[in-house]
Amino acid sequence: MHVHILGICGTFMGGIAALARAAGHRVTGSDRGVYPPMSTQLASLGIEVTEGYESAQLDEPPDCVVVGNVMTRGMPVVEAMLDAGLPYTSGPEWLARHVLDERWVLAVAGTHGKTSTASMLAWILDDAGLNPGFLIGGVPGNFGRSARLGAGPFFVVEADEYDTAFFDKRSKFVHYRPRTLVLNNLEYDHADIFADLEAIKVQFHHLIRTVPGSGRIIVNAADANLREVLERGCWTAIETFSPADREGQWRARNAGQGCGFEVVTDGDRAVAVDWELPGAYNQQNALAALLAARHAGVPPGSGADALGRYKGVARRMENRGRERGITVFDDFAHHPSEIRATLEGAAGLPREGRLVAVFEPRSNTMRMGVHRDELRRAFQSADAVYLFEPPDLSWDIDSVASEIKPATIVCDDVGDLVRRLVSELRSGDDVVIMSNGAFGGIHTRLLEALGRNTGS
């Protein structure tokens, strides 16, 4: 079968391409602004990628067109596809029909933590010899790729609530029909898609309706929004986790100095996790992964042992380098809750200097100003804050910066921001750069500028 993928360079659609290629299909695709690393990954798989969305790419009609959710009516290739009557489907529907059918699906949903939890879960299953397939919205360090077909019955999928395609406005995750479902948390996000939090709750309730009675839902007991969704109807056994000071069947308790922690159930220690990931947020993700793996037959002790060898995910507090005694981290945080959790975790790391936060408000929701007021409280764990002002921001970033503690600097040019950082950073500082985009290559530019001790 010849599968042609529109919007192939996104993490999800690139994963679909890799899975289709592994299944033996001929795969081609197109996207706008094709660049590494996805372009090189696709090339290494023998996948031909066309730049742009012109109709000529369909002159050789494929057997199936897989349409990414970045595609809209009016694009030449979309209009040509419809006019020609070509068979088409969405990425989530293709995944469900051609990969997930007859698999034991373990889905990880929630506003935050999906990528990390799904990566932990896939690694626990793999370490147990179960050879799971997976599709994750990041690159887990233990695998070096975002998707794998796998050979066993288990498949781990990051279950995103974003809409499916221009012709299917349901959330992606309603297509996956999981047997094991993790619900990490639920907050308002994706304001370009959802009018309010209630609209997202409806989609999460639809997801819960797809889980069989013989399955399992692993849920964060500390999240009031998730409790409210479950109260609308749930037909599946529930297992809960939460921070140590909250209600939950499984809880995390710090075992002493360092990042390790104990897993506690019914007041008794079950297992200990000895790892290097900081913060309560990572501990909660680990609890969810351990419980989901337990439902698939992996004992918590084996899961905890695997987590001790877990290598994290690219762009989740990823150490990008060190120059002049200054360490630069890259993190995908783009929601105030994620920013706060990332910085709280980073604050627990040993350092001789300051914790410096650099943030780009890049997501559609952030540019619209939906979370503007929450930003004022998101940076409290940092010692210094730098905000980047993109040209299309719809709100006054200076007024928000004036209310952030600690003192906050605003820059509207990446080069100027790098020069400012180079002049003000000191040996021993940790710099956490947060964005859900490339941020103008700031990580490399900063490290290079620090190495030659000048701006760029």
CATH code at position 362: 3.90.190.20
Q: Average of pLDDT values for 243-258?
A: 73
Same domain, yes or no, for 51 and 71? Answer: yes
d(CA 421, CA 301): 44
Could you tell me if residue 95 is inside a domain?
A: no
d(CA 139, CA 116): 10
d(CA 22, CA 18): 6
pLDDT tens, position by position, 431-444 = 999 898 888 889 99
Dihedral-angle region of residue 12 (phi above 0 means left; psi in -120 to 50 means alpha; beta otherwise): alpha
d(CA 116, CA 341): 13
The yes-or-no verdict on residue 227 having pLDDT over 90 is yes
d(CA 34, CA 276): 35
Q: Would you state the pLDDT for residue 170?
A: 94
Secondary element (H or E) of residue 11: helix 11-22
Same domain, yes or no, for 156 and 205? Answer: yes
Q: Which of 424, 388, 429, 381 is nearest to 405 (CA)?
A: 381
How many domains, in total, are found in the chain? Answer: 3
Q: Average of pLDDT values for 60-89?
A: 97
Indicate the range of 77-81, 230-234, 422-426 predicted with least confidence: 422-426
Q: Which of 90, 121, 153 is the last residue of a domain?
A: 90
Same domain, yes or no, for 54 and 148? Answer: no
Could you tell me if residue 323 is inside a domain?
A: yes
Could you tell me if residue 34 is inside a domain?
A: yes
Same domain, yes or no, for 354 and 212? Answer: no
Tell me the pLDDT band of 352, cut-offs 50, 70 and 90: confident
Q: Which of 40, 60, 90 is the last residue of a domain?
A: 90
Tell me the pLDDT band of 20, cut-offs 50, 70 and 90: very high
Q: Would you state the pLDDT for residue 334?
A: 74
Strands 355-359 and 318-323 come out as unpaired
Same domain, yes or no, for 115 and 23? Answer: no
Q: Would you state the pLDDT for residue 156?
A: 98
Q: Which of 103, 235, 89 is nearest to 172 (CA)?
A: 89
Q: Average of pLDDT values for 81-95?
A: 98
Task: Order the strands of the 326-331 sheet from edge to edge.
Answer: 318-323, 326-331, 430-434, 355-359, 384-388, 408-411
Same domain, yes or no, for 116 and 43? Answer: no
Same domain, yes or no, for 219 and 274? Answer: yes
Q: What is the CATH number of the domain that holds 225?
A: 3.40.1190.10
Same domain, yes or no, for 124 and 242? Answer: yes
Q: Average of pLDDT values for 84-97?
A: 97
End-to-end CA distance of the chain: 49
The yes-or-no verdict on residue 396 having pLDDT over 80 is yes
CA 174 to chain centre: 18
pLDDT tens, position by position, 42-60 = 888 899 999 999 999 999 9
Q: Which two structure tokens, joined as six digits, stand for 250?
A: 């499984």
Could you tell me if residue 258 is inside a domain?
A: yes
Q: What is the CATH number of the domain that holds 19?
A: 3.40.50.720
Q: Would you state the pLDDT for residue 305?
A: 95
Same domain, yes or no, for 328 and 297? Answer: no
pLDDT tens, position by position, 336-348 = 888 888 888 788 7
Tell me the pLDDT band of 110, cut-offs 50, 70 and 90: very high
Higher pLDDT, 210 or 329: 210
pTM, to two decimals: 0.86
Could you tell me if residue 235 is inside a domain?
A: yes
Q: Which of 61, 90, 119 is the last residue of a domain?
A: 90
Same domain, yes or no, for 233 and 186? Answer: yes
Indicate the range of 89-93, 212-216, 439-443 predicted with least confidence: 439-443
The yes-or-no verdict on residue 258 having pLDDT over 70 is no
Same domain, yes or no, for 285 and 165? Answer: yes
Could you tell me if residue 358 is inside a domain?
A: yes
Q: Would you state the pLDDT for residue 362?
A: 85
Strand partners, 263: 252, 271
Could you tell me if residue 313 is inside a domain?
A: no
Residue 310 DSSP label: -
Could you tell me if residue 96 is inside a domain?
A: no
Same domain, yes or no, for 70 and 149? Answer: no
Tell me the pLDDT band of 241, cut-offs 50, 70 and 90: very high
The yes-or-no verdict on residue 455 having pLDDT over 50 is no
Indicate the range of 31-40, 115-124, 299-308 predicted with least confidence: 31-40
Q: What percent of the chain has pLDDT over 90?
A: 61
What is the domain extent for residue 150? 102-307
